[in-house]
Amino acid sequence: MKDFFNFVNEFQKKNESFAIATVVQIKGSSSAKPAAKAVINQVGDVIYGWVGGGCAEAEIREEALKCLGLEKTALIDIQMNAETLKEGMACGGQMQVFIEPILPKPTLWILGHNQIAQTLCKFAHILDFKIHFYDKEIDTDSFINEQIYQQLDQILPLIKKNDFIVIATLHINDSETLKQILTTQAHYIAVIASRKRAKLLLETCEEKDLSRISAPAGLDLGSQTPEEIALSIISEIVVFQRKNFLKNSLSQLK
């Protein structure tokens, strides 16, 4: 059987979010002991370890989902001194549990290579994104920390629902590129384009896909320079990331 740290290390490699619950202190009667740990996945299931039976597990799982959604740690007190089963947890005692969310690095796909894309890459590195580039003519020797692809059909099977995609080619084939990307499950697809060009591109898309597309890409910051445009895009990605992750995590509580 794998020990706790080996399990956590292997689970992190899957690039999925999870939470670690650790019993910090107990008072009175409690089945869990201090330092007991459990791993709770992104849908609220305990997939490794144990921090107590049914009396406390439901509350810990609920709090773990909140921590994942808010991306914050929490120290919770669980009271188990109810006199009857109808009043609540009657296991006896009190338990203090520390919950720590472990979040994977978000992935950003940049399709195209220009000054905006280069600056966006720099911002994304600062925010600890995993970065993948797709461009047929990119100089692979100029990039060390990014994964480079030169064939569109290479990347389509690799794109996941929670990945962020920015089309920055500014070429006549943007429409076809967008069409191919829409076959993936990506929930955020941005296109760097003027308002006029963005309107023309959106007119080629099916109505069901419009909610997934940000065109022109970025928040409306009045951006003019490539650096300002890149800033508006990474800002929009952060806003989208926070709202969407919180919504998905807290929906598990219903």
**CATH number, domain with residue 141:** 3.40.50.720
pLDDT of residue 84: 41
Q: How large is the angle between the packed helices 195-203 and 174-181, nearest 10 degrees?
A: 50
15 and 69, same domain (yes or no): yes
CB 97 within 8 A of CB 122: no
Domain end (from 56, 85, 102): 102
Q: Kindly state the average pLDDT of the residues 218-234.
A: 93
CB count, 10 Å around CB of 35?
8
Q: Kindly state the average pLDDT of the residues 13-32.
A: 84
pLDDT of residue 243: 79
163 and 70, same domain (yes or no): no
Selection from 60, 64, 65 nearest residue 78 by Cα: 60
Q: pLDDT (tens digit, 9 = 90+) per residue, 74-133?
A: 999 988 765 444 444 556 678 899 999 998 888 999 998 888 998 999 999 999 899 998
Strand 46-49 relative to strand 37-41: parallel, antiparallel, unpaired? antiparallel
Strand 164-167 relative to strand 188-191: parallel, antiparallel, unpaired? parallel
Distance CA 25, CA 32 (A): 10
- The whole-model pTM stands at 0.69
The residue among 151 and 249 whose pLDDT is bigger is 151
pLDDT of residue 227: 95
98 and 111, same domain (yes or no): no
Number of domains in the chain: 2
243 and 119, same domain (yes or no): yes
Q: pLDDT (tens digit, 9 = 90+) per residue, 182-223?
A: 999 998 999 998 899 899 889 988 889 898 999 999 999 998
Q: Which long-range contacts (CB under 8 A, 24 or more apart) does 171-177 make?
A: 171/112, 174/201, 175/201, 175/204, 177/111, 177/152
Q: pLDDT (tens digit, 9 = 90+) per residue, 141-178?
A: 666 567 888 888 889 999 988 899 999 876 667 888 89
pLDDT of residue 86: 46
Confidence of residue 37 (pLDDT cuts 50, 70, 90): very high
124 and 172, same domain (yes or no): yes
11 and 79, same domain (yes or no): yes
The residue among 141 and 28 whose pLDDT is bigger is 28
